[in-house]
Amino acid sequence: MLTIEDLHKSFGEKEVIRGLDAKINKGEIFVIIGPSGQGKSTILRLIDLLDTPTDGSITLDGTEITSLGDRDKQQVRQRIGMVFQDPAIFQGSVYENVAYGLRFRTLPSEEVHRRVTQALHDVRLEGYEKQDARTLSGGEKHRVAFARTIVTQPDLILMDEPTSDLDPVTTGILEDLIFFIRDTYHATIILSTHDMFQGQRMGDRIAVMMGGTFIQTGTPKEVFTSPNTREVAYFIGFENIFDGEIIRSEGGVATIATGEREVLAVSDRPVGNKISWCLRTEDIRLHMSEERHGRAPMSNHMMGVVKSIGMVGPQNHVTIDCGIDITLVVSWRFAERVNLHPGMRVWVAFNAGSIQVMER
Partner 1 sequence: MNEIIDGFLTAIHLIVTFDPEVYEVAFRSIYITFSATVIASVISIPIALFLAFRTFPGKRTIINLVHTLYALPTVLIGLVVFLMLSRQGPFGFLGLLFTPGAMIIGQVILIIPIIIGLTYSALVALDPVIKDTIISLGADYFQFMVSILKEIRFVVYATVAMAFGRAISEVGAAIMIGGNIRGYTRVLTTSIALETSMGNIELSMALGMILLFIALTLNFIMTSIRRESD
Q: Which residues of this protein are in contact with partner 1, per CB under 8 A?
A: 45, 48, 50, 70-71, 74, 77-78, 80-82, 84, 86-88, 90-91, 100-101, 103-105, 148, 152
Strands of the sheet containing 205-210, edge to edge, are 80-83, 156-160, 188-193, 29-33, 205-210, 213-218
Sign for the pseudo-dihedral over CA of 142, 144, 149, 153: positive
Q: Which is nearer to partner 1, 90 or 197 (by Cβ)?
A: 90
Give which of 206, 141, 203 is closest to 178, Cα–Cα.
Answer: 203
Under 8 Å between Cβ of 277 and 258: yes
Half-sphere exposure of 112 (CA within 13 A, CB side): 15
Strands of the sheet containing 261-266, edge to edge, are 261-266, 253-258, 240-250, 274-279, 356-359
User: Within its chain, how far is the Cα of 26 from the centroid?
Assistant: 19
Angle between the N-to-C axes of helices 138-150 and 168-185, in degrees from 0 to 180, rounded to the nearest 10 = 10
Minimum CB–partner distance for residue 188 and partner 1 (Å): 16
Q: Which is nearer to partner 1, 74 or 225 (by Cβ)?
A: 74
Minimum CB–partner distance for residue 326 and partner 1 (Å): 46
Residue type, 222: E
Q: Which is nearer to partner 1, 125 or 157 (by Cβ)?
A: 157
Minimum CB–partner distance for residue 84 and partner 1 (Å): 5
Q: Which is nearer to partner 1, 97 or 249 (by Cβ)?
A: 97
Under 8 Å between Cβ of 228 and 359: yes
Q: Which is nearer to partner 1, 50 or 338 (by Cβ)?
A: 50
Cβ atoms < 10 Å from Cβ of 117: 15
Write the CB contacts of 136 (distance below 8 Å, at least 6 apart in sequence): 89, 94, 128, 144
Q: Which is nearer to partner 1, 50 or 241 (by Cβ)?
A: 50
Minimum CB–partner distance for residue 181 and partner 1 (Å): 16
Q: Which is nearer to partner 1, 148 or 280 (by Cβ)?
A: 148
Minimum CB–partner distance for residue 301 and partner 1 (Å): 56
DSSP string covering 222-260, please?
Answer: HHHH--SSHHHHHHTT--EEEEEEEEEEETTEEEEEETT
Minimum CB–partner distance for residue 19 and partner 1 (Å): 25
Minimum CB–partner distance for residue 80 and partner 1 (Å): 7
